[in-house]
Chains A and B, each alone.
Chain A
């Protein structure tokens, strides 16, 4: 029972739980960003109200989490680092107080280079944050500026070395390719420079133009690399990162062995998580629900015990089976026949037939362990693959149910 800091009499069969905290504040909104965040800079009043609300929310929700122990906490946004270390530490200690948090829980903070200092990082590390994910995006200051990023590449380098110095043993950086006017050579340069940072984990995202972003408005004259160019950049990244010892464990995620992001893996393996803050999603108690993407509504909802959810659905097993394909096939771990059949009582043959066809085209592979995964080439067209797999799944008849 040493695993647990509190409640030594906890039942033996504790289920793992992830916690996500959405911090919807930013210095400024990036051109491509469609996450829920308020880009208007510092607004102490809303930040205070937000803090009060989220603390209350955590306290309330924790009562429903009996039987769970928290093994990952993730502060995302927005820009959590912009919210300030004091508030972040208040939230973390409230979670620690109300939930059963495992000693070696992974506790991640998303940060932007412009809103961390050696001091603030040291405080956060001391308070228990042990993983930091820094938004770097690319190594070209002009490009960063045109994306609306409020920092330079130099600041990003600084942030990484400061984090390392104050004791973060697990540092991740976010990179983006397919940026406006970005050439293949520019992307290669970003990757080369980032290799020098010697980080433990790298996320590489192809830029996607989402509606309701500023970029969307001028997308036609933004000189965006086309799909073929993006695919080339992607495959180049996969190759380069692999040669530097980074293992691709998900479509857009790479890490040194053993440094995979535990929290994000929960999303892709269908494990429960609870979200706090506006626009945060939860998958808990068989239901998936999302808080409204509206800070005021969140605050009044929590404080006056009103409704804060914008969506809530129970997910039947049949739909979970679809999610299994959609999410697991994002990972290098992939899917497996017995795991699938026993969990969802559906036949694997229709899927395997398709997977074999993909294998001949170099889109999928069967590991020696018997697990099926997509190759990087397959990852890149995974929507088309999933559409076919889901169709085959939909048409398959459940295996006879086990008699009791």
Chain B
């Protein structure tokens, strides 16, 4: 066990693209934790998807051994965090596991929205925030001005902040020295009752769930009986250890202040929720660590295999994915149009996109997803209460006495010149203005009450585009409010396609209906006959488009040398058709389903 005074636990926070993951790579190299030859970019983002999108989805931790200039050996635990509002809770839990945060700011771009949002999150969590100015090798770098900005806007000393280039490995040593010097050593009593914070977990098919944790008090040892304080699950620790960049290194105990993992033959990830406290069965802690809340899926969507016969594969894939991501939920669902599938619950739209992309990539599935929706509460005329998770179960309008939808309190922080744009957007999305405060001379914070339904579509993207990326958004559920809701049905060639139905605010129905019909027209290929595309509410048609009949799809020339080639072409076309779903005599590609999800992209 490392002496408390030689331990430093920190994370790196930054606006997207300011070089967080690259700096992490350099720190690993600098500590010789990993050979140059084994080095891949963004080593902590080991999900293929994370690397490609340049985002961090899951929290990660890695232990570095560092011999500082004072001649002492230190153990540094770097905890990487996801950056998106969907995973806000995970971020705040990860930060709770640290004493300090290195704030990376791009030397040419300066402070941006997420710089602030993440910094405030770190400060609120009680962390020491240590600024670093990155990308000083860029021609447009203006490190002195950026330091001044940090002091003026955030209000933390920044004049001594290291000026680095993570990309080119300049002054990385200074960052490590700063961490050792300025991040407070953890405190905690290694003889006290055990309290350890879970900040992530992962499923391993050999060892069961691997729990990543930070020990706050006490000591974890193999063989010890432990209990998860929120879920009440009890286990015997099989192994505990440190997190090295290329795997796990077992040890005989993790003491207060240390970051590591434990395995205990845990079969279900949902027993080990992020934010929960692990304590000993013998000599338990009286109080769990503060701040735990159970994460609830907020957005639901129907997920179906594009090829109906792959239902079993989809089920297996969801089962496996759920092992690694307890925040996702799924139940079986049956659509007339799409057959068997699942209604899946997600934290938000990015979470949904990530899960769907992982299903398609890691499990090689072609999926059709239906429009995402929130959970609606309905009081029927006979007095019964109903939670509606899917448009498929939406009752007949005649049976509805009252419908309610979830509202959130949205906090938006942005430079004040964008206030007009933001207000306009929020009004369009049925936002109710609460208040506005100036954070300093240039930045404001706006509060709105908004229907969650309006946020889950593409609110974040719209907000970003209207504020040139400077706005940051945070929201929390504040409860249900009565609302005027309708279910919009879509008919192709006169037949209703249940998987395209969705629930929405009545006043938006006409505009949405029109847009949906247009989108479908654009995304359903012309077929051998004309196809009417209609939108209806309770049997009344409110919008219509027509897909004209296909007039040319022919191989004009086909002689001796062409036959093999043309056969392959037809075969390809046949494959393409297989990826479409047939509704009556209409073939619909899965892109059409995706396209109606992204209606507001203009």
| A and B part of one assembly | yes
Q: Interface on A for B, CB 8 Å cutoff?
A: 20, 76, 205-206, 208, 227-228, 230-231, 234, 251-252, 264, 267-268, 273, 275, 279-283, 288, 290, 311, 313, 322-323, 326-327, 330, 358, 361, 363, 379-387, 390-391
Q: Which residues of A contact B555 (CB under 8 A)?
A: 208, 251, 382-383
Among B218-226, B463-471, B563-571, the stretch that binds chain A is: B563-571
A-B contact pairs, 20 of them (CB 8 A): A20-B560, A76-B559, A205-B557, A231-B552, A234-B552, A251-B554, A251-B558, A252-B556, A264-B559, A283-B560, A290-B561, A311-B564, A313-B564, A358-B528, A361-B528, A380-B552, A383-B555, A387-B570, A387-B577, A391-B577
From B529, B553, B558, contact of A327 by CB (8 A): B558
List B residues 514-540 near A (Cβ within 8 Å). 527-529
**What are the nearest 9 A-B pairs in CB distance?**
A231-B551, A227-B552, A281-B561, A383-B553, A281-B560, A231-B552, A205-B556, A206-B556, A381-B553
From A208, A231, A283, A323, contact of B567 by CB (8 A): A323
List 4 additional A-B contacts (Cβ < 8 Å) besides A281-B561, A283-B563. A228-B551, A273-B560, A381-B553, A381-B554
A267-B560, A283-B560, A379-B554 known; A361 and B570 CB under 8 Å? no
Interface centre among B559, B566, B569, B577 (most CB of A within 10 A): B559
A363-B528, A380-B551, A381-B550 known; A326 and B561 CB under 8 Å? no
Please classify how large the interface on chain B is, using the bins under 10, 10 to 19, 20 to 34, 35 or more.
Answer: 20 to 34
A231-B551, A384-B528 known; A322 and B557 CB under 8 Å? no
Q: Is the CB of B552 within 8 A of A228?
A: yes
Q: Which residues of B contact A290 (CB under 8 A)?
A: 561, 564
Docked pose: A164 CA to B569 CA in angstroms: 39
Interface membership of B53, Cβ < 8 A: no
Docked pose: A348 CA to B78 CA in angstroms: 69
Q: Is the CB of B564 within 8 A of A384?
A: no
- In the assembled complex, the CB of A30 is this many whole angstroms from the nearest CB of chain B, namely 14
Docked pose: A280 CA to B563 CA in angstroms: 12
Q: Which residues of A contact B577 (CB under 8 A)?
A: 387, 391
Chain B: which residue is nearest A273 at the CB level? B560
Interface membership of B574, Cβ < 8 A: yes
A390-B574, A391-B577 known; A384 and B550 CB under 8 Å? yes
Docked pose: A252 CA to B556 CA in angstroms: 6
Interface centre among A280, A313, A383 (most CB of B within 10 A): A383
From A279, A323, A363, contact of B563 by CB (8 A): A323
- In the assembled complex, the CB of B463 is this many whole angstroms from the nearest CB of chain A, namely 35
Q: Which residues of A contact B527 (CB under 8 A)?
A: 384
Q: Which residues of A contact B442 (CB under 8 A)?
A: none
Chain B: which residue is nearest A250 at the CB level? B558
Q: Which residues of A contact B437 (CB under 8 A)?
A: none
Chain A: which residue is nearest B527 at the CB level? A384
- In the assembled complex, the CB of B383 is this many whole angstroms from the nearest CB of chain A, namely 50
Q: Which residues of A contact B393 (CB under 8 A)?
A: none
Interface centre among B555, B557, B558, B561 (most CB of A within 10 A): B561
Q: Is the CB of B558 within 8 A of A330?
A: yes
- In the assembled complex, the CB of B587 is this many whole angstroms from the nearest CB of chain A, namely 10
Q: Which residues of A contact B573 (CB under 8 A)?
A: 383, 387
A264-B559, A313-B564, A330-B558 known; A386 and B528 CB under 8 Å? no
Q: Which residues of A contact B552 (CB under 8 A)?
A: 206, 227-228, 230-231, 234, 380-381
Docked pose: A241 CA to B174 CA in angstroms: 84
- In the assembled complex, the CB of B436 is this many whole angstroms from the nearest CB of chain A, namely 48
Q: Is the CB of A384 within 8 A of B557?
A: no
Chain B: which residue is nearest A322 at the CB level? B567
Q: Which residues of B contact A323 (CB under 8 A)?
A: 563, 567
- In the assembled complex, the CB of B569 is this many whole angstroms from the nearest CB of chain A, namely 8
Q: Which residues of B contact A275 (CB under 8 A)?
A: 560-561
Docked pose: A254 CA to B570 CA in angstroms: 25
- In the assembled complex, the CB of A273 is this many whole angstroms from the nearest CB of chain B, namely 6
Docked pose: A391 CA to B569 CA in angstroms: 14
Docked pose: A279 CA to B564 CA in angstroms: 13
Interface centre among B527, B551, B570 (most CB of A within 10 A): B551
Chain B: which residue is nearest A208 at the CB level? B556
Docked pose: A323 CA to B551 CA in angstroms: 23
Q: Which residues of A contact B554 (CB under 8 A)?
A: 206, 251, 379-383
A383-B555, A386-B570 known; A281 and B563 CB under 8 Å? yes
Docked pose: A85 CA to B560 CA in angstroms: 24
Q: Which residues of A contact B551 (CB under 8 A)?
A: 227-228, 231, 380-381
Docked pose: A268 CA to B566 CA in angstroms: 13
- In the assembled complex, the CB of A226 is this many whole angstroms from the nearest CB of chain B, namely 9
- In the assembled complex, the CB of B193 is this many whole angstroms from the nearest CB of chain A, namely 67
Q: Is the CB of B528 within 8 A of A381?
A: yes
- In the assembled complex, the CB of B95 is this many whole angstroms from the nearest CB of chain A, namely 51
Q: Which residues of A contact B574 (CB under 8 A)?
A: 387, 390-391
- In the assembled complex, the CB of B294 is this many whole angstroms from the nearest CB of chain A, namely 49
Chain A: which residue is nearest B529 at the CB level? A361
Q: Is the CB of B559 within 8 A of A267?
A: yes
- In the assembled complex, the CB of A84 is this many whole angstroms from the nearest CB of chain B, namely 23
A326-B566, A326-B567 known; A251 and B550 CB under 8 Å? no
Docked pose: A338 CA to B563 CA in angstroms: 24
Q: Which residues of B contact A387 (CB under 8 A)?
A: 570, 573-574, 577
- In the assembled complex, the CB of B351 is this many whole angstroms from the nearest CB of chain A, namely 38
Chain B: which residue is nearest A36 at the CB level? B561
Docked pose: A380 CA to B549 CA in angstroms: 12
Docked pose: A358 CA to B528 CA in angstroms: 9
Q: Which residues of A contact B558 (CB under 8 A)?
A: 251, 267-268, 327, 330
Q: Which residues of A contact B569 (CB under 8 A)?
A: 383
Q: Is the CB of A382 within 8 A of B561?
A: no
Q: Is the CB of B570 within 8 A of A288?
A: no
List B residues 155-208 near A (Cβ within 8 Å). none
Docked pose: A386 CA to B573 CA in angstroms: 10
Chain B: which residue is nearest A319 at the CB level? B567
Q: Which residues of B contact A379 (CB under 8 A)?
A: 554
Docked pose: A361 CA to B551 CA in angstroms: 12
Q: Which residues of A contact B528 (CB under 8 A)?
A: 358, 361, 363, 381, 384-385
- In the assembled complex, the CB of B419 is this many whole angstroms from the nearest CB of chain A, namely 42
- In the assembled complex, the CB of A115 is this many whole angstroms from the nearest CB of chain B, namely 21
Docked pose: A330 CA to B567 CA in angstroms: 13
Docked pose: A251 CA to B274 CA in angstroms: 66
Q: Is the CB of B557 within 8 A of A288?
A: no
Chain A: which residue is nearest B566 at the CB level? A326
- In the assembled complex, the CB of B579 is this many whole angstroms from the nearest CB of chain A, namely 13
Q: Is the CB of A279 within 8 A of B561?
A: yes
Docked pose: A83 CA to B268 CA in angstroms: 77
- In the assembled complex, the CB of A348 is this many whole angstroms from the nearest CB of chain B, namely 20
Chain B: which residue is nearest A204 at the CB level? B556
Q: Is the CB of B556 within 8 A of A280?
A: no
- In the assembled complex, the CB of A314 is this many whole angstroms from the nearest CB of chain B, namely 12
Chain A: which residue is nearest B557 at the CB level? A205
Docked pose: A230 CA to B528 CA in angstroms: 16
Interface centre among A230, A281, A282 (most CB of B within 10 A): A281
- In the assembled complex, the CB of A323 is this many whole angstroms from the nearest CB of chain B, namely 7
Interface centre among B563, B570, B573 (most CB of A within 10 A): B563
